Amino acid sequence: MPDATILAAALVNGATQGAIYALIALGLTLIYGVLHIINFAHGAALMAALYAVLLLFTGLGVDPYVALPIVTAGMFALGYALQRMVIGPASHGRDENILLVTLGVAILLENLALVAFKSDTRTIDTPYAFATVDVGGVLIAVPKLAALGGALAMTAALFWLIERTDLGRAIRAVAKERQGARLCGIDVEHVFALCYGIGLACVGAAACFLLPSYYVNPTVGGGFVLIAFTVVVLGGMGSFVGALVGGFVVGLAESLGGLAGITLGWGENMGQLGIFLVFIAVLLFRPQGLFGARG
């Protein structure tokens, strides 16, 4: 057995990673739940946001946490415009078209990044990159703690928006009954674009929390989006609570799986195995996901 501090550190790591996964998955599940499309451009959007954070830091000296409102707003605007001007018009109302259009956007973004930044993996050096705080004998890296707090705050804000505001009610109305929503005077195309924008804003926020302790290259989004899809399916397609809980489940499974692998001498790659063991176990017993509706 590993000692308690190592276990506690793994739990904190898992929770932090889980909060980031949850944030990315919330954007994905919002887009799926309302627009009924699987957003293949989600990973590429994360990559673009990470480069935005990188450029703001290296070019203008803007700290990633200070860049949060800029990158979040910028990603929202990008998402709104993409849905309104590219994805919506190009799809002609057919779901398989939308799927291909989002895939096309992803390929375009990744190759633009390759042209602009080459395939180098890049990181940023912040003064607090290796700073730690002592929480009851467990040393926690400051960027991890900021990521955990920030992702939770963003998630809370998103829940408030969806559950408590008029716009949130309109979004939930459009998700299940477009025609009824139109007859209430809701501009459905505007709501679609808002949701796509909010989905990418989540990714923008995740990028700001991620980069101080992570890296960026043109294909960095792929790994995250695979896990985000896992989270969304695990939690139940279209469920916000499911995305939040699923994010933490996956983050903890990854971190504790890695710890178990190291302890048993199987190597640290066991984290990925942990994710998919939990995933398969959940789907065996609840095929609709933890919080998904049946049928």
Partner 1 sequence: MTEASPLLDVSGLRSGYGGVEILRGVDLAVRPGEIVAVLGSNGAGKSTLNNTLSGIVRAHGGSVRFAGEDVTAAGSAAIVAAGLVQVPEGRRVFPDLTVRDNLLVGAYRRGRAHRARSLERVHAVFPRLAERERQRAGTLSGGEQQMLAIGRGLMAEPRLLILDEPSLGLSPKLVDEMFALVRRLHADGLAILLVEQNVAESLAVAQRAYVLENGAIRLSGAAADLAANPEVRRAYLGL
**Residues near partner 1, by CB under 8 A:** 166, 169-170, 172-173, 175-177, 179-187
CB atoms within 10 A of CB 179: 7
Q: Among positive and negative, which fits the CA dihedral 168, 174, 176, 181?
A: positive
Contact predicate 90/101, CB 8 Å: yes
Nearest CB to partner 1, comparing residues 54 and 175:
175
Report the chain's C-alpha Rg in angstroms. 19
Nearest CA among 28, 117, 51, 45 for reference residue 86: 45
Nearest CB to partner 1, comparing residues 237 and 253:
237
Least Å distance, CB 161 to partner 1, is 14
Least Å distance, CB 183 to partner 1, is 5
Least Å distance, CB 94 to partner 1, is 14
- Residue 38, CB half-sphere, CA atoms under 13 Å: how many? 13
Least Å distance, CB 175 to partner 1, is 7
Nearest CB to partner 1, comparing residues 114 and 241:
241
Least Å distance, CB 174 to partner 1, is 9
Least Å distance, CB 170 to partner 1, is 6
Nearest CB to partner 1, comparing residues 44 and 173:
173
Q: What angle do CA 148, 152, 154 make, to 5 degrees?
A: 120
- Specify the 3-state DSSP secondary structure of 127: coil
Q: Distance between CA atoms of 216 and 45, rounded to whole angstroms?
A: 12
Nearest CB to partner 1, comparing residues 122 and 182:
182
- Sorted by sequence, the CB contacts under 8 Å of residue 149 that are 6+ apart come out as none
Nearest CB to partner 1, comparing residues 1 and 183:
183
Q: Distance between CA atoms of 230 and 248, rounded to whole angstroms?
A: 12
Tokens, residue 226: 């695979």
Locus of tokens 């998904």: 292
